[in-house]
Amino acid sequence: MILPIVKYGSSTLRKKTFTIDKGDEFTQLAHNMEFTLKKAEGIGLAGPQVGVLKNLFIIDTSPMKDMGIETVEKVYYNPVILHYGDEQSYYNEGCLSIPGINEDVLRPEKIEVRYRDEYFDWHEEVLDGLVARIFQHEYDHLQGILFIDKISALRKKIIQSRLREIARNG
């Protein structure tokens, strides 16, 4: 089932999420989020973006395979960033909840993460490049943080009218 994507202006996007317990029914939600992400042709989608305040997100880089990007299609339950690398870089980010706005965001190039898989087993790994960036962007959603919170005050002022428009029509 395709889920509606929550747009900028909704208070849901500013709330912190809750841990998923092993007994929770989260498998169908994850499948619905995967369908929603594919239909929207995005590369990441977090629980709050579909109105669910649970600690999960999806990464699917398959839309970028023609650009030589490694394909990663994965659901992350209860993700945690354990360590941020020292090297940082800018990348032009967008968000399905803030359509039509892209801005350069500075983030660490490499991160060490821990998360649960669909069997509720823990995994730890080091991510770098685009997958690390998407992970950080989606992890921020779980904390109620949007990518526009990481841009300069001047850039935010420049896009303010477009943000108001999204909030009005969201």
- Known catalytic residues are 138
Which residue reads 């339950």 in tokens? 77
Residue 43 main-chain phi, psi, to 5 deg = -120, -5
Sign, Cα dihedral of 43, 84, 30, 51:
negative
With beta carbons less than 8 A apart as the criterion, state whether 105 and 147 touch. yes
Q: How far apart (Å, rounded) are the C-alpha atoms in residues 122 and 130?
A: 22
Residues near 43 by beta carbon (within 8 Å), at least 6 away in sequence: 37, 59, 60, 61, 63, 64, 134
